[in-house]
């Protein structure tokens, strides 16, 4: 193989020669990262590399260990962000192996000579996401079907597998383990190896998101793929939490609204699906069980809207936007409610008094979620988007 030559450009003879050289290395050399996946880097100057795994301890290694490292690395699930996840789970391993047959078929297809090689981990992520999705998967799928689902990106000079978002993979695995959890090993192998370590994945959190969505929006006409892709912070940030669950599924852009006074507005259809995702996650974080999943904040938002519309001038809008919604503390929020009380009718007065009592009992974290959710519901009402277009096609 020539220096800088890409694996997909190798001829059959070159591939055969390369494998023979590797087999010879396995039989005659001490294992290192040049031919054993995940092993320490070679100390030979030829490779000019460093490794934190080098040790004076003699660790017994068999030829089988080296070959199994090749197979094991092929079972990793590549996700966006430059990381790979490995699950020690029979069902996921078998499902991944079934996808190998499909990928190999496309690699051998003479009509797909532009297909990039060496993407097995990236393929694993897309295959698991597609094959585990009961609504999406078809037994008679073909290359065109996979391309339409953005699994493959077809260019003029290259065809390659797109990298899946970890959150989309998470939702698919949630269908395999709706109430379960697994520990995954998160790492990245490349010019610079990255190891995050063993991270618990709570797939029941994906099930929780779906349950909350159904109770809030029923059969809203929402693009499932776009909806699921909105969830999840960067995989590295998610792992820093210590586990992958509801907290890690926080929509990435939602943090901009939670940590600042950024104005919330709805100007296009894309804003509506963002609203669905943001509200679903916030309600999931606030509610402990199914009975607590309500449109309570939407009712409060309607009350605030009636208050604002009850007089002319900018006094009430200013109170709402500059004091109530801009409050960083429970005290500031309650102070703004106190100003509203004298101008409310009996029903709205009772609702605001009840709200004040509930705010008192919230933790600071819960208050942050609640206030953000209330601002989204209020902005949603402002743009008259309450009458969502429903049909009989459930998102889940």
N-term to C-term CA, the chain = 48
Stretch 135-145: mean pLDDT = 91
With cut-offs at 50, 70 and 90, classify the pLDDT of residue 393: very low
Say how many C-beta atoms besides its own lie within 10 A of residue 244's C-beta. Answer: 27
pTM for this entry:
0.84
Closest by Cα among 246, 245, 243 to 285: 246
The answer to whether 79 and 162 are in contact (CB under 8 A) is no
**Could you tell me the pLDDT band of residue 390, with boundaries at 50, 70 and 90?**
very low
Which helix (H) or strand (E) segment holds residue 210: the answer is helix 204-217
pLDDT of 299 > 80? The answer is: yes
Q: Is 28 helix (H, G, I), strand (E, B) or coil?
A: helix
> Average pLDDT for residues 56-62, to the nearest whole number?
81
Rounded Cα gap, residues 144 and 151, in angstroms = 10
Each as own residue / partner, the long-range contacts of residues 191-199 (CB below 8 Å, 24 or more positions apart, any chain) are 193/33, 193/51, 194/82, 194/83, 196/83, 196/236, 196/239, 197/239, 199/239, 199/242, 199/243, 199/244
Percent of the chain with pLDDT over 70: 87
Please, where are the H alpha helices in 155-261?
166-176, 204-217, 224-229, 235-240, 254-258
Lowest mean pLDDT among 90-94, 115-119, 141-145, 201-205: 115-119
Closest to 107 in 3D by CA, of 123, 94, 93, 129: 123
Percent over 90 (pLDDT), the chain:
54
Give the Cα separation of 283 and 203 in Å (integer).
Answer: 18
| Confidence category of residue 67, pLDDT binned at 50, 70, 90 | very high
Convert the pLDDT of each residue in 351-373 to its tens digit: 999 999 999 999 999 999 999 99
The SS3 assignment for 208 reads helix
Spell out a b/e string for 176-210, using b for 16 or more CB atoms within 10 Å of the CB, else e.
ebeeeebebebbbbeeeeeebeebebbbbbbbbbb
Quickly count: other Cβ atoms within 10 Å of residue 41's Cβ: 17
- According to the model, what pLDDT value does residue 391 have? 40
Which residues is 141 bridged to in the sheet?
none
């Amino acid at each position: 193989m020539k220096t800088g030559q890409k694996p997909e450009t190798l001829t059959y003879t070159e591939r055969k020669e390369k494998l023979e050289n590797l087999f010879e290395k396995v039989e005659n050399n001490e294992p290192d990262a040049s031919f054993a996946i995940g092993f320490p880097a070679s100390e030979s100057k030829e490779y000019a590399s460093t490794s934190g795994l080098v040790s004076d301890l003699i660790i017994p290694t068999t030829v089988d260990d080296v070959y199994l490292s090749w197979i094991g690395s092929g079972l990793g699930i590549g996700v966006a962000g430059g990381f790979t996840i490995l699950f020690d789970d029979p069902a996921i391993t078998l499902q991944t192996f079934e996808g190998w047959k499909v990928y190999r078929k496309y690699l051998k297809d003479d009509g797909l000579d532009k297909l990039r090689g060496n993407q097995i981990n990236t393929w694993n992520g897309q295959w698991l996401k597609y094959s585990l999705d009961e609504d999406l998967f078809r037994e008679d799928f073909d290359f065109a079907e996979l391309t339409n689902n953005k699994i493959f990106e077809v260019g003029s000079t290259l065809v390659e597998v797109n990298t899946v978002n970890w959150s989309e993979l998470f939702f698919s695995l949630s269908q395999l383990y709706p109430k379960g959890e697994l520990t995954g090993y998160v790492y990245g192998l490349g010019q610079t190896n990255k190891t995050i370590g063993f991270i618990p994945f709570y797939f029941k959190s994906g099930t929780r998101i779906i349950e909350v969505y159904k109770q809030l929006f029923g059969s809203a006409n929402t693009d499932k793929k776009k909806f699921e892709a909105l969830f999840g912070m960067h995989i590295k940030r998610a792992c820093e939490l210590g586990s992958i669950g509801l907290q890690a599924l926080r929509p990435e852009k939602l943090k901009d609204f939670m940590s600042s006074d950024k104005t919330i507005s709805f100007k296009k259809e894309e804003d509506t699906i963002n609203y669905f995702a943001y509200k679903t996650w916030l309600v999931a974080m606030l509610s402990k069980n199914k009975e607590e999943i309500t449109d309570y904040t939407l009712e409060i938002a309607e009350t605030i809207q009636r208050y604002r519309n009850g007089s002319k001038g900018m006094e009430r809008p200013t109170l709402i936007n500059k004091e109530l919604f801009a409050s960083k503390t429970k005290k500031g929020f309650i102070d703004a409610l106190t100003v509203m009380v004298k101008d409310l009718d009996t029903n709205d007065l009772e609702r605001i008094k009840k709200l004040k009592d509930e705010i008192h009992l919230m933790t600071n974290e819960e208050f942050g979620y609640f206030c953000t959710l209330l601002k989204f519901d209020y902005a949603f009402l402002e743009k008259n988007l309450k009458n969502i277009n429903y049909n009989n096609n459930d998102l889940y």
